[in-house]
Structure 1
């Protein structure tokens, strides 16, 4: 069964079981992946579809979080595999049009995630949500530099594979 079909089943299960406000929000498209992907066609994802790809956690501090925070989300390497990405770079675009270029190798070399939860709760737009690029700054202190901080985009809306 394809990952897309699994995500559809998750969505159908939510609808049959009654939808809370939070579940209804998870049915909204929050991410579009485009560029060098399978068939060259953009792929839209809801939070439920992203989480159906599998999630990982990173507990870390950052320039924006002085106390350790646990982030949960899809490993970006798994997301790119699911869409058949073939490029060497990913342009990550935020809701406010902020754009950062990230080498695709970062995702596999450093286990970067696209977090949808912070300390077990969905992240609202007012707190860097709904999606945030998270590097394991505490596990890999060499990443705690301005270049990696600039790649840690929040309020992510799109990823363009180049």
Structure 2
């Protein structure tokens, strides 16, 4: 009877533990300076204001991606690394269709959430292994793998490659 009871407990609770709703409690509080705030239609937050605040260590703790690409802003090919936009949106259980992204200088862009796909844009925090400073378009630069996908080489995509990113608002 004990084994049956254990099996029943596992059958009921394991799906709950591994569900996105259960992961909602797993977003820690930043231990350092907040460099990105995500707000709007979120299922996971970590502030009293109902936003998700991230320091660099928290972004680094999310699944990382990297690619090499040339850009219109850099000399030659560089290696960009950081969290994929799709992984960040998954971590906060974003449910909107539009992303309003704002930079430190208040430059803002709207990006369809459908662009946040695996293998798509990343929130780069490093170039060639070096952390991005504000002077070097950091601490976060939304960058596309231009060389991997020539369809990204458009004026629209270039305008969406926002640097010094400070906030994302998830909207409908």
Moved over 6 A (4+): none
- Structure 1 unaligned segments of length 5 or more: list them: 12-26
Q: CA deviation at 1:110?
A: 4.9
1:114-134 CA-to-partner distances (Å, cap 9, x unmatched) read 000010000100010000001
Aligned with 2:79 (options 70, 89, 109): 70
Q: Deviation digits for residues 85-137 of structure 1, max 9, x if unmatched? A: 00011111000000001111111165210000010000100010000001010
Q: CA deviation at 1:142?
A: 1.3
Q: Is the 8 A contact 1:58 1:134 kept in 2?
A: no
Match of 1:14 in 2: none
Q: Shift of residue 38 of structure 1?
A: 1.6
Aligned residue in 2 for 1:4:
27
Q: Which has the higher strand share?
A: 1
Contact 1:56-1:74 at 8 Å conserved across structures? yes
What is the CA–CA distance in structure 2 between the aligned matches of 1:39 and 1:123, rounded to whole Å?
A: 27
Task: Indicate the SS of the match to 1:29.
Answer: coil
Larger Rg: 2
Q: Superposition pairs for residues 1-162 of structure 1, below 5 Å?
A: 2=23, 3-5=26-28, 27-38=32-43, 41-108=50-117, 110-162=119-171
* 2-structure distance, mates of 1:39, 1:120: 30
Unmatched segments (≥5 aa) in structure 2: 1-16, 18-22
When the two structures are superposed, what TM-score results if normalisation uses the length of structure 2? 0.78
TM-score normalised by L of structure 1: 0.83
Following superposition, the deviation at residue 59 of structure 1 comes to 0.9
- Equivalences, count: 144
